[in-house]
Amino acid sequence: MPSFVPGQRWLSETQSELGLGIVESVAPRRVEVCYRATGERRVYALPNPPLVRVILEVGEWVRDRAGRAWLIQAVEEGDTAGLIRYRCVDGSGALCRLSEAELDDHLRLNRPAQRLLSARFDADHWFDLRWRTWRLRMREALSPVQGLLGARIALLAHQLEIASEVARREAPRVLLADEVGLGKTIEAGLILHQMLLTGRAARVLVMTPEPLLHQWLVEMLRRFNLRFALFDQERFASLPDANPFLADQLVLCSADWILRLPAAEQALVSGQWDLLVVDEAHHLEWSEDRVSNAYRLVAQLAARTPGVLLLTATPEQLGRAGHFGRLRLLDPQRFSDYERFVAEERDHAPVAALAGRLLDGEPLGAADQALISARLGEHEGLERATILERLLDRHGTGRVMFRNTRASIPGFPGRVLHPAPLPEPAAYAALNSRDCARLTPERSLGPDWLALDPRIDWLIALLARLHPHKVLLICAAASTVLELRDVLLRRSGIHAAVFHEGLALRERDRAAAYFAAVEDGTRILLCSEIGSEGRNFQFVHHLVLFDLPLDPDRLEQRIGRLDRIGQQHPVQLHVPYLVGGPSEVLFRWYAQGLQAFEAICPAAPAVYQDLIEPLHAALADPRRTVMLVAEAQRRCASLNQQLAAGRDRLLELHSHRPERGAALVAALLEEEQDPALAEYLRRLWDHFGVEYEPAAHDSLALRPGAHMLNESFPELPADGLQLTFSRSVALAHEHWAFITREHPMVRGAMDLLIAGDRGAVALGIMRDERFAPTSLLLEALYVVECQAPRGLEADRYLPLMVRRFLVDPAGCDHADAIAHDAIDARCASHHPHLAQALLSARAESIRSLIETVETMAQAAMPALRTAARARMNAVLSEEIARLRALAAINPNVRPDEIAALTSRREQLDQALSGASLRLDALRLLVTR
């Protein structure tokens, strides 16, 4: 491991555009590097940060921080061990000693030219590999599916579309609220994968309820190759750093223990995150007069973190105000007044109808035109698509919320209800109905309930009838889970696995794995309510709802464990209830009133809030059920209709644009079918000495060879790796690596190559009759770089670009006429005599070729800068216009927001104006 010392200069291996870094501080597990040219400060986890030590060589020209140029004459030890100092001379002969800390922060290395002039050549095939690597990198930078390609997922349009839309935004702050089980975790994973890959985020914090930590850990690793560090109290305490969260870039934790430990809360809040993800965000309680501790914590984090993703399938589970509270975390300006928010929602129907007509291409009447004018002001000449975008953006939850519904996504097999009416035991009927105790009477009665509750025999009979299918049972309390486990074992010899809040995290995961195991697994898993959130149980299609929750969102969460992506069979819902008692009332309320068993009822949360009192009255006095059910039906019908016409229609239009999703799927399929990556990797493996051979099912077995170039190859374990390039094979064989150009092994190998010097200078003998024998040509690769603070995201407007030149001594560039692959050259790098002779005889011509190509490269730059600035100006000007329009209808859009965006436009303009080309590689060609 390299040792870091404050004051040393290092370059980012993958982001040389940050400029020259200086080590600021070193802790046992991390190093902090400051990039003064771009105002960035990065914390890297040790032992293997992606950094290259910069030690310049004798003969190189450098600049100091005042901009003076110096020629290095000697490299010496500095005053402190580990630091160096350069003995230099300037053009006038003045001497100086320059400590490395004094080097220009914008330093660019021009090693290829110096290496070429000192005849230090690499084999030609390395130059070729370097060029191919850059070509792939460039293709990646321009790809519309960058960051979406490498995930081990089935290509589902609704997820790709949301992920691509969100990740495209600067500092995305959104609520991902797809219905239960449609893949919000996957969407969040895709977004963060894109942001990490493009460098838009480096430090990510994911907060989930404790029972979901492990599932997240596994999903991130197996689907996205992202290794999160799971932080619990023990890990926090074990790290010596002042802020242990800085030791890792990708952190996963639950709020529970953080809230109990003020030091941890403080450290988390100052964790310098780029992106915050909060799963099951409906737990963040907010009302106008009360805010939960978890909400307070997330609010502090959200205020300091540029990107925020909140995930919940049931945004209104704790009422409409809570929903508003979460939107407020994302955009406090826009969502500042609850009353106003509620009032605005009443107005949605006419806007939704208009948006629908715009989308369907229907003619617009005078009333429509008037509505558009009222909402958007002047719209003459705007395209329909633009009007639609602006309407969606400026109304309701606008761009902040996404919600896909099952109705808009094909392929869900549906649900079937199996009610089981059972007699209510007298001991239950005697319980007080007022406090809902009769809904879960087993909790009031003590262990005796097992002897008299008819649900026990019914359950045993059901399990026998459903044999050999697996069954998930969910009930309200952990105590019920334990008692059911004992009674099932005692009375029918069934070994049930249990999952409840009393188990340690590891035990819960073990129970879920025991249930999931195809062979030797258990047939039944008994879950308390916590089992009904976030977990994936779609390999089962029988669900027993041993009791029913009062909140309809809870019911949906329970059913959603099975009714989710990947479910192959209609979901069978087995619901026992006790005739004549409150459990029958609740059953009828759901089955007939809300009709929430066999399909999702969008109106259910609102109807529940409105009828909560009549519902409790009916639970206490079941004679009121008929009226309750009729009222619920009436309200559901009308509210569902309103939602379909208003708020939900707008949300659906905004969330689901099938044509965009289809285009992304098509682009991904095209990339996957392109054989270029496999060909490239075979070359790369051959060069690095990695061995491979075909293996079963369209896979390859890869292993370190006997003659490896380096000690190891990125992400290749010593005992090898099985991999596939096929998505379908990768989905079927989750323990094999799914190789795309986004896989860490591919990225790591590419970084290894282009961050180092290998292939940066080559010598070839070329056959081409267009040139006289012994002519010299210089092939040069230049990389466009823009040193700008990362927050500005300059690469959106100036993506990675490599310019290739092929110049002759007359100053002609043949790069377009003669492609790299068309050059018929034989490597001459390994003929030192020839190289030396050439260098001595033709040094001046070679020097002049280098100068010519350098001039040419610099001349190409203004056009690139102008195009990038034009792109940036178009985007930001539109965004500024949007904010101004929004400010006209929404007083909460502050003038300083608009000023900030305007200043960003200026900063970007300045940064892009300073973009330059860096020489990366040279190949000298001699014709014969």
Ligand X SMILES: Nc1ncnc2c1ncn2[C@@H]1O[C@H](COP(=O)(O)OP(=O)(O)OP(=O)(O)O)[C@@H](O)[C@H]1O
Comparison of 167 and 313: residue with beta carbon closer to ligand X? 313
Smallest distance from the beta carbon of 201 to ligand X, in angstroms? 20
Comparison of 104 and 533: residue with beta carbon closer to ligand X? 533
Instruction: For residues 279 and 347, give the distance between their C-alpha atoms in angstroms, rounded to a whole number.
Output: 30
Smallest distance from the beta carbon of 167 to ligand X, in angstroms? 16
Q: Confirm or deny that 184 is annotated as ligand binding.
A: yes
Smallest distance from the beta carbon of 752 to ligand X, in angstroms? 31
For the beta sheet containing 307-311, the strands, ordered from the edge strand earlier in sequence to the opposite edge, are 229-230, 250-253, 204-207, 275-278, 307-311, 173-176, 401-402
Smallest distance from the beta carbon of 889 to ligand X, in angstroms? 33
Instruction: For residues 852 and 858, give the distance between their C-alpha atoms in angstroms, rounded to a whole number.
Output: 10
Going from the C-alpha of 334 to that of each of 303, 397, 788, 806, 897, the distances in angstroms are 14, 9, 30, 54, 12
Smallest distance from the beta carbon of 567 to ligand X, in angstroms? 9
Q: What part of residues 141-170 is at the interface with ligand X (CB under 6 A)?
A: 153-154, 156, 159
- Burial-class residue 562 by CB neighbours within 10 Å (0-12, 13-18, 19+): buried
Comparison of 182 and 525: residue with beta carbon closer to ligand X? 182
Site map for ligand X, 802-841, x if CB under 6 A? Answer: ----------------------------------------
Q: Confirm or deny that 179 is annotated as ligand binding.
A: yes
Q: Does 413 bind ligand X (CB under 6 A)?
A: no
Comparison of 283 and 348: residue with beta carbon closer to ligand X? 283
Site map for ligand X, 165-194, x if CB under 6 A? Answer: -------------x-xxxxxxx--------
Comparison of 181 and 441: residue with beta carbon closer to ligand X? 181
Smallest distance from the beta carbon of 576 to ligand X, in angstroms? 24
Q: Confirm or deny that 181 is annotated as ligand binding.
A: yes
Instruction: For residues 665 and 149, give the distance between their C-alpha atoms in angstroms, rounded to a whole number.
Output: 10
- Contact in structure between 598 and 556 (CB atoms under 8 Å): no
Q: Does 211 bind ligand X (CB under 6 A)?
A: no
Q: In sequence order, which residues have a C-beta less than 8 Å from that of residue 514 and are 6 or more positions away?
A: 497, 521, 522
Applying CB under 6 A, what is the total number of residues that bind ligand X?
19
Host H or E run for residue 648: helix 647-655
- Contact in structure between 290 and 329 (CB atoms under 8 Å): no
Q: In sequence order, which residues have a C-beta less than 8 Å from that of residue 707 and are 6 or more positions away?
A: 689
For the chain, percent helix, then strand, then coil, each to nearest 5?
Answer: 45, 20, 35
Q: Does 453 bind ligand X (CB under 6 A)?
A: no
Q: Does 536 bind ligand X (CB under 6 A)?
A: yes
- Identify the DSSP state of 560: T
Q: In sequence order, which residues have a C-beta less than 8 Å from that of residue 805 and are 6 or more positions away?
A: 778, 779, 780, 782, 813, 815, 853, 856, 857
The bridge status of strand 204-207 relative to strand 173-176 is unpaired
Comparison of 8 and 159: residue with beta carbon closer to ligand X? 159
Q: Greatest CA separation found in the chain?
A: 109
Smallest distance from the beta carbon of 177 to ligand X, in angstroms? 9
Taking CB under 6 A as the criterion, the residue among 313, 463, 575, 681 binding ligand X is 313
Comparison of 233 and 726: residue with beta carbon closer to ligand X? 726
Q: Does 636 bind ligand X (CB under 6 A)?
A: no
Smallest distance from the beta carbon of 504 to ligand X, in angstroms? 22
Comparison of 734 and 851: residue with beta carbon closer to ligand X? 734
Q: Confirm or deny that 470 is annotated as ligand binding.
A: no
Instruction: For residues 100 and 925, give the distance between their C-alpha atoms in angstroms, rounded to a whole number.
Output: 36
Q: Does 317 bind ligand X (CB under 6 A)?
A: no
For the beta sheet containing 699-704, the strands, ordered from the edge strand earlier in sequence to the opposite edge, are 690-695, 699-704, 721-724, 737-738
Which two three-digit tokens encode residue 251? 């952190």
CA angle 563, 564, 569 (to 5 degrees): 55
Find, among 794, 796, 818, the residue nearest to 805 by Cα. Answer: 818
Grouping H, G, I as helix, E, B as strand and the rest as coil, residue 910 is helix
Find, among 472, 463, 441, 495, the residue nearest to 544 by Cα. Answer: 472
What DSSP string describes 480-537?
HHHHHHHHHHHHH----EEE-TTS-HHHHHHHHHHHH-SSS--SEEEE-GGGGSS---
Comparison of 217 and 358: residue with beta carbon closer to ligand X? 217
Smallest distance from the beta carbon of 537 to ligand X, in angstroms? 9
Q: What part of residues 542-571 is at the interface with ligand X (CB under 6 A)?
A: 560, 564-566
Comparison of 159 and 699: residue with beta carbon closer to ligand X? 159
Smallest distance from the beta carbon of 181 to ligand X, in angstroms? 5
Comparison of 394 and 542: residue with beta carbon closer to ligand X? 542
Smallest distance from the beta carbon of 110 to ligand X, in angstroms? 46
Host H or E run for residue 417: strand 415-423
Query: What phi and psi values does residue 676 have, to the nearest 5 degrees?
Result: -60, -40
Beta bridge mates, 382: none
Which two three-digit tokens encode residue 856? 């040419």
Q: In sequence order, which residues have a C-beta less than 8 Å from that of residue 6 and are 6 or more positions away?
A: 23, 24, 25, 26
Comparison of 100 and 556: residue with beta carbon closer to ligand X? 556
Beta bridge mates, 41: 34
Q: Confirm or deny that 178 is annotated as ligand binding.
A: yes
Comparison of 126 and 402: residue with beta carbon closer to ligand X? 402
Site map for ligand X, 99-118, x if CB under 6 A? Answer: --------------------
Find, among 210, 202, 206, the residue nearest to 184 by Cα. Answer: 206
- Identify the DSSP state of 590: I
Going from the C-alpha of 152 to that of each of 286, 466, 721, 731, the distances in angstroms are 36, 33, 16, 6
- Per the document, the length of the chain is 928
Comparison of 312 and 625: residue with beta carbon closer to ligand X? 312
Strands, DSSP E only, in 234-274?
Answer: 250-253
Query: What phi and psi values does residue 206 have, to the nearest 5 degrees?
Result: -110, 125
Q: Confirm or deny that 698 is annotated as ligand binding.
A: no
Comparison of 17 and 178: residue with beta carbon closer to ligand X? 178
Smallest distance from the beta carbon of 212 to ligand X, in angstroms? 8
Smallest distance from the beta carbon of 31 to ligand X, in angstroms? 35
Q: Confirm or deny that 759 is annotated as ligand binding.
A: no
Smallest distance from the beta carbon of 275 to ligand X, in angstroms? 17
Instruction: For residues 131 and 113, give the distance between their C-alpha atoms in angstroms, rounded to a whole number.
Output: 17
Site map for ligand X, 588-627, x if CB under 6 A? Answer: ----------------------------------------
Smallest distance from the beta carbon of 176 to ligand X, in angstroms? 8
Binding residues vs ligand X (CB under 6 A): 153-154, 156, 159, 178, 180-186, 313, 534, 536, 560, 564-566
- Residues at the binding site for ATP are 178-185
- Residues at the binding site are 178-185
